[in-house]
Amino acid sequence: MSTQAPAGAKYCCKCSKDVTHQQRMKDTEGRYWCPDCSKKDEAKKMEHAGAVCKGCGEAFSKPQLTWIGGLPYCKPCMTSRFAVKKTFLGRVWSQLKGE
Ligand SMILES: [Zn+2]
Ligand SMILES: [Zn+2]
């Protein structure tokens, strides 16, 4: 006797969960995904996809970006932002000290 899955049975390609009678996704290669694995895969893709810097509009990979308030900024933009902030704070500090 064969131990093969019954005809028409659908299993998640990641966790082998039986998704025959429940919500599932099918990828371009015809494999099935359960909602959980599909969600995890999406999150992983997002992590590696990178984003467009909100400061200069250039696209960067994830490791090059710093997220502030949910928005991505590249290193040069971060540096200039901090430089501005530092100068501003420095000025305020000087005023407070009465210089
Ligand atoms: Zn799964
Ligand atoms: Zn930038």
| Pairing verdict, β 71-74 and 59-60 | unpaired
Domain ranges of the chain: 1-49, 50-99
- The residue to which tokens 């984003």 are assigned: 51
* Ligand lying closest to the C-alpha of residue 34: 1
Q: Kindly state the average pLDDT of the residues 75-96.
A: 72
pLDDT of 39 strictly over 60 = yes
CA of 10 to the centre of ligand 1 (A): 11
Q: What is the pTM of this model?
A: 0.46
pLDDT of 74 strictly over 90 = yes
Give the number of other CB atoms < 10 A from CB of residue 83: 10
CA of 19 to the centre of ligand 1 (A): 8
pLDDT of 37 strictly over 60 = yes
User: pLDDT tens-digit profile of 7-17?
Assistant: 789 999 999 99
* Ligand lying closest to the C-alpha of residue 81: 2
- Residue length of the chain: 99
CA of 60 to the centre of ligand 2 (A): 8
